[in-house]
Structure 1
């Protein structure tokens, strides 16, 4: 929890940006696993946390923009709640540390909004990703369920993005806390990646570290020797000496700020010559990306420069050929790196992705590409001081994609398919750092997790 003034300032800034009306910020309800009383671990909505702070279910925040007033609607507990959960603070007491003075019972929200609608006032709401909240919007506003996505307020989305994309000093400190936990997760994985260990043993320890630190993982851990599958959450493989283990994992602090790092490890502690060759190309890519990050530079231009580093390295080992600039312009490199270079990070590991990537990563000046590979770039717009982004290049050998492109005769001038076929069982390598854009350039969030061949092999030994 930050000082009260932080939340008050955020809400004041939001009202200054928006023109008029009422803006709703729905808190998240609890989500049952298999019956109502057995719920998944609770996770509050990030935008509700950002403006209103209360990390409990059963609340909705309201901005009355016309009257310069904020409200929290929620209910005090009853005796049954106290029996099962113990004494609980009142809504008034929960709202006070976040600077909200106006509270009301949750059932009053519908009549509050009905009066506003009757007066012809705008009602703004953000995109809704929980089914229960879609039903709530329908009940509160009469919005057809099928139209809720389209009727989310673009004005509200853009206003929130303009605030949340710039991390203040308090947020950066939380991100550094998350990075410290993430450092322990990854160095522990390095020490565990040995012959005869199951992926699930390492994945379980990653989660245990986050739990012991008072939070959770910021997303389900990717711990896989089948790293060519970009988001591989299967953890059933037995590791053998000579395998490559891709570990993409991060922590979420008790205030819900995230870390997100990837390292790729040689099981048994030593890279083979072939693995080292490809690894060094990815390492050159991540270092190039880190060097280029600064205010005023479009992240798409950085993505493309890193792709040129990847393509140059692949050409040097015989997997690609021809003019590198032309190959990247044509999209030939995407056989090996079919994803974007990185994304925003903050309260969400993919920050504000619930609003839609184009609102967060693009703007009127820079639109999303439709080219395979670059189309998957989540962030393309110019960088500003206060952005926190991930930088995560990779090289993957995906047999199905390799076969598809060869059969279709794609990029024959740039790809040596006979040589590529020798890497069918190689897997994938990805490296990822978390970076804060500063006024002068950038700096890493937290201490850099061991990343060079020498550093990784040393800690694994």
Structure 2
């Protein structure tokens, strides 16, 4: 954990922005897979982790804004529990470890909330994203379950987003710790992507490497020669020379900060000429985006800049019939690049999106587009020093999308459908890094992972 003072300072900053009343933060509970005692690996709620730091089920925290106090609610482990999980720290000891003086049994939480409501005090809570949290809030607040969302505190939610959006040096260190493991996972995958090897074998190697370091995956691994399927979690294909494999994989740090890296590898160690052209265009787009990042510029501007570089880079394939500026302005580029350039990353791989994707990624004069492609941009608002975001342009040839757009005659004057149809067997390419916005620009976090054509070919053929 961080120091007790760190968590105390976070709670104080949150209280200062939330106004008055109580702040109620619920931790996650164990989730059974198929019966009560067979549970999924526990993952604490990230906002609870941020403010109370304790990584175990059955906890809740209350911050009394007006009294300037914090209380941890939970229960000491019973003797029966100790038999199964061993001796545990007491609730009071846990509270002290995160700078909280007062610790009370969980059964007393309902009375605390009821008294505050009877006194007309506000009870601020965040949007619930799990059914059990919604049910717990409904019980504590005497609400119908379908009324819980309407009572979410916009003030508290915006305050939490503002605080978590700016990463401290200690948080950056955690993210680079996670990236150390991610780097090793990607190097292993690049060396292992050989003719005759099954995708699932390489996924198993990466998963095992993370587990050997005591780390959880930050998200389910995407490792597929069908890279045009953006979130393909199937791993049943046997690789063959000439395939392109998209590997989107990351691990968590000991304190659950995420890493999120994508590389694309040619099986057999050499890109074909067509693959090389598209790969270099994607890489140029990523490098141009990182170079353009700085405080004050909107990420939507960076997205469009990357798209223009990408479209210009694939000119040798004659995919488009107009200038890069015209193709991007029209939205025709999204046939090749149908997703957003990136998103916040931190305690969540898509950081804070449980609090509302538009709340996190928009505002400050920028609203989400309804246009295909741009509407999938999860982050559009201006960047600030201390933000950490992913930069992940890609190029994909999605047969169903090509066929639909061609049948509709969409952007027919700008898109060369004959060239797109000739590439239906291509698959996809994505290149992604985690990038810190600094006062003067941006810095790619973590140790370098090969991404130039020469470096990727060298590693994949070694």
Coarse TM-score class (shorter-chain normalised):
over 0.9
CA shift, 1:365, in A, is 1.0
The SS at the match of 1:252 is: coil
Cα deviation, 1:334-364, whole Å, max 9, x if unaligned, reads 0011100000000000000101111111114
- The aligned runs of 1:244-393 (5 Å cut-off) are 244-393=244-393
1:426 maps to 426
SS of equivalent residue, structure 2 residue 390: strand
What is the DSSP-based 3-state SS (H/G/I as helix, E as strand, rest coil) of the residue aligned with 2:314? helix
Question: 1:22, 1:123 within 8 Å by CA — same for their partners in 2?
Answer: yes
* CA deviation vs aligned residue, 1:131-177 (integer Å, no higher than 9, x gap): 11111111111222112223211111100001000000100000010
Distance in 2 (CA, whole Å) between partners of 1:222 and 1:424 is 21
Q: Distance in 2 between matches of 1:149 and 1:210?
A: 36
Deviation of 1:47 (Å):
0.6
* TM-superposed deviation, 1:66: 1.5
Aligned to 2:100: 100
Task: Work out whether residues 362 and 368 of structure 2, in 8 Å CA contact, stay in contact via their aligned partners in 1.
Answer: yes
Which aligned pairs between 1:63-102 and structure 2 lie closer than 5 A? Answer: 63-102=63-102
1:211-250 CA distance string (max 9 Å, x none): 1122111000000000000000011111111111000000
How far apart, in 1, do the equivalents of 2:322 and 2:274 lie? 22
For structure 1, which runs of at least 5 residues remain unmatched after alignment? Answer: none
Aligned 8 A contact 1:74 1:106 in 2: yes
Unmatched segments (≥5 aa) in structure 2: none
Matched, 1:232 2:270: no
2: CA distance between counterparts of 1:455 and 1:267? 14
Cα distance between partner residues in 1 of 2:313 and 2:364: 34
Contact persistence 2:224–2:232 (CA under 8 A) = yes
Is contact 1:214–1:253 with CA below 8 Å preserved after alignment? no
2:450 maps to 450
1:204 aligns with 2:199: no
Instruction: Return the alpha-carbon distance in structure 1 between the equivalents of residues 68 and 269 of structure 2.
Output: 60
- 2:143 equivalent to 1:143: yes
Q: Which moved more, 1:309-318 or 1:234-243?
A: 309-318
What corresponds to 1:441 in structure 2?
441
Cα distance in 1 for residues equivalent to 2:114 and 2:405: 56
Q: How many Å apart are 1:254 and its aligned residue?
A: 1.7
User: In 2, distance between residues paired with 1:59 and 1:283?
Assistant: 45
Cα distance per residue 1:391-429 (max 9 Å; x no partner):
000000000000000000001111100111011111000
Q: Does the residue aligned with 2:219 lie in a helix, a strand or coil? A: coil
Shift in Å at residue 442 of structure 1? 1.0
How big is the shift at 1:440? 1.4
Aligned residue in 1 for 2:415:
415
Are 1:433 and 1:448, in contact at CA under 8 Å, matched by a contact in 2? no
CA contact (8 A) 2:61 2:70 kept: yes
Counterpart Cα distance in 2 of 1:206 and 1:457: 20
By how many angstroms is 1:317 displaced?
2.2
Paired with 2:385 and 2:451, the residues of 1 have a C-alpha distance of 26
Distance (whole Å) between structure 2 residues aligned to residue 208 and residue 253 of structure 1: 15
> 2: distance between equivalents of 1:317 and 1:150?
51
TM-score by length of structure 2 reads 0.99
Task: State the secondary structure of the residue aligned to 1:412.
Answer: coil
Which stretch shifts more, 38-47 or 203-212? 203-212
Is the Cα–Cα contact under 8 Å of residues 261 and 433 in structure 2 kept in the other structure? yes
- Is the CA contact (8 Å cut-off) linking 2:46 and 2:348 kept in structure 1? yes
Counterpart position of 1:178: 178
Question: How many residue pairs are counted as aligned between the two chains?
Answer: 461
In 2, the alpha carbon distance for the partners of 1:169 and 1:132 equals 34
What's the TM-score, normalizing by structure 1? 0.99
Report the 3-state secondary structure (helix = DSSP H, G, I; strand = E; otherwise coil) of the residue aligned with 1:439. Answer: coil
Shift of 1:124: 1.1
State the alpha-carbon separation in 2 of the partners of residues 65 and 287 from structure 1.
45
Please give the per-residue CA displacement for 1:276-334, whole angstroms capped at 9, x wherever unaligned: 11111101111111101111111110000001111112334201111321211110000
- Asked whether the equivalents of residues 317 and 419 of structure 2 are also in contact (C-alpha less than 8 Å), the reply is no
Structure 1 outlier segments of 4+, above 4 Å: none
